Amino acid sequence: MVSSLMMQCLVKIPRHSLPMLCACRFYSTKSSKPLRILFCGSDDFSSASLRALHAECERNPQLIKSIDVLCRPAKPSGRSLKKVREVPIKAVAQQLSLPVHERDTFTGWDLPKPQGESINLIIAVSFGLFVPPRILKSAEYGGLNVHPSLLPLFRGPAPLQHTILSGTKKTGVTLQTLDDKSFDHGIILDQTPPPFLSMPSGEHCTYHELLNFVTPKAASMLVRGLQDRLFVPPLLDVGLSSLGDDSENPTGSINKYATKITPEDRKINFVEWEGDRIYRHYRALGRLWTDVWVDAKTTKRLVFEDISLVDKPAVSSAEHWEGRNPRPSVGKREDGGQSAAPLFIVASKIADTWYPMFYVVDGNAVVFDTKNGAVRVGSITVEGQSKKAASKALNSLPPWRLTSGRMAKDAHRLFVEPAEAADEISHREAEGN
């Protein structure tokens, strides 16, 4: 909500009128004062919008008179927190010779006055701080935001990652007002129309491909919205409010929230996840990891890269071992070579049950047998080591063996134990005989 006055001037466009409205360029008869903009941003996505606004300011000073840039201060980064990381937009603003203000809070801060005149429009793009009502109300035209999703889908700080994680095949961008109570709940002034945008590279789209795809479209939508004075009352709400029930809805739900990505989101659950889910996480989040047991008391972290989705290996699952030697050697042969049998590592330990993760060697890579399907991993970094070809990295881990006797609760998973423990059991059994 940009202001109480503007909220009173809200016009809702009927759902059936949207295709006609979005099929052609809407030229507004509205007028506005020259805009003195406070642009709040941080990353490459917001930097593209800033560059587009600056170009429009140079071309049409009657529309945009000035632009001030607000960003967050540099923060320590890296493991040792010794490096200071500036937000990318600061360098862009300096390159464009725009005034830069650095704040981590709006508390006790008032809008700047370029050339002695008041800021009359706030634009926040991938900013990360909530713009409070006090600031919004002090700007005559309130605030605007560009969001890289089809709102109300994927509200939140990580819409691009969650778009890929959801498996949707369609995407889009939204121009909205800045709400004075919540992130991403403003009035939708412009939006990618049905049938929406097909994901670049389809089911193989990565985060960076999607970012590069939507970034120029978002910048163009923002400039077009200013040209058409969409921010001037009466505000026209063109949001797809019934998106959740629409047959063209790319995800089938209006309740998807794009939560902040954490390190735990990058952790693979080899026991429960299907191959497609692992692949989507890799495309959306990049390097993935999991903890493996190198012996009965010690775990190490493995980091996986170069992941692709492949067909399930012909012989790689736990069923392969049913009815066979109850304690086959799995891992490295005595001569240092690799066993001809499918290899595996322990993916997790749940309720005192060891769960193996079967894989087969494919050149320098390895193919993991998952719950449904398989994934090929090209390189792995074992904690404490450098990155290596996946087959070499796993070959450096201590071998494990399947135990005899009981089956795990999951009929498709066998109990396992370290090879040394299995040898001790075999020795005791031999002595008993």
What CATH number is associated with residue 422? 3.10.25.10
3-class SS of residue 386: coil
Place of tokens 């019934």: 242
Q: Is residue 293 part of a domain?
A: yes
Q: Does a structural domain hold residue 250?
A: no
The answer to whether 250 and 235 are in contact (CB under 8 A) is no
Answer whether residue 254 is part of any domain. no
Q: H or E stretch including 280?
A: helix 275-285
> Residue 110 is part of which domain span?
4-245
Checking if the pLDDT of 13 tops 60, the result is no
Among 211, 245, 279, identify where a domain stops: 245
Q: What's the CATH code of the domain at 33?
A: 3.40.50.170
Q: Who has greater pLDDT, 317 or 97?
A: 97
For residues 418 and 422, give the distance between their C-alpha atoms in angstroms, rounded to a whole number: 6
| β-strand pairing of 400-407 with 414-418 | antiparallel
Cis-peptide, bond into residue 132, ω within 30° of zero: no
Q: Are residues 236 and 371 in the same domain?
A: no
Parallel, antiparallel, or unpaired: how do β-strands 299-310 and 374-382 relate? antiparallel
For residue range 279-306, what is the model confidence (pLDDT) as tens digits?
999 999 999 999 887 777 778 899 999 9
In a domain, 369, yes or no: yes
Residues 58, 170: one domain? yes
Structural domain total, the chain: 2
- Does residue 86 sit in the same domain as residue 120? yes
Higher confidence at residue 418 or residue 339? 418
List, for residues 322-333, the tens digit of each pLDDT value: 433 333 333 333
Residue 57 lies in a domain: yes
pLDDT at 217 over 70: yes
CB 394 within 8 A of CB 400: no
- For residue range 218-259, what is the model confidence (pLDDT) as tens digits? 999 999 999 999 999 999 999 865 454 343 444 454 558 999
What per-residue confidence (pLDDT) applies to 11?
55
**Lowest model confidence (mean pLDDT) among 25-29, 164-168, 197-201, 247-251:** 247-251
Q: Is residue 169 located within the same domain as residue 281?
A: no
> Residue 273 above 80 pLDDT?
yes
Is the residue at 258 inside a domain?
Answer: no
Considering the domain architecture, whether residues 283 and 161 belong to the same structural domain is answered as no
Domain boundary among 245, 274, 301: 245
Considering the entire predicted model, what is its pTM?
0.82
Comparison of pLDDT for 65 and 421, the residue scoring more: 65
Q: What is the pLDDT of residues 355-412, one digit of tens each?
A: 677 788 889 999 988 888 899 999 999 999 999 999 999 888 877 655 544 433 333 3
User: Does some domain include residue 256?
Assistant: no
Residue 215 pLDDT more than 60?
Answer: yes
| 204 torsion bin: left (phi>0), alpha (psi -120 to 50), beta (else) | alpha
Does 217 share its domain with 280? no
Query: Greater confidence, 10 or 132?
Result: 132
Q: Judge whether 413 and 403 are in contact, CB under 8 Å.
A: no
Q: Are 289 and 233 contained in the same domain?
A: no
12 in the same domain as 50: yes
Residues 382, 302 contacting (CB under 8 angstroms): yes
| Whether residue 298 sits in one domain with residue 158 | no
Q: Are residues 155 and 218 in the same domain?
A: yes
**Region of residue 78 (left: phi > 0; alpha: psi -120 to 50; beta: else):** left
The pLDDT of 150-165, averaged and rounded, is: 96
Q: For residue 126, tell me if it sits in a domain.
A: yes
> Which residue among 245, 273, 298 closes a domain?
245
Say if residue 217 is in the same domain as residue 282. Answer: no
What pLDDT does residue 406 have? 41
DSSP per-residue letters across 147-185: ESS-TTTTBSS-HHHHHHHHT-SEE--EEEEPPSSSTT-
Query: How does pLDDT run across 102-117, given as a tens digit for each residue?
Result: 999 999 999 999 999 9
Residue % of the chain over a pLDDT of 90: 59
Q: Bigger pLDDT: 204 or 419?
A: 204
User: Is residue 292 located within the same domain as residue 229?
Assistant: no
Residue 18 has pLDDT above 80, yes or no: no
Phi-psi region of 335 (alpha: psi -120 to 50; beta: other; left: phi over 0): alpha
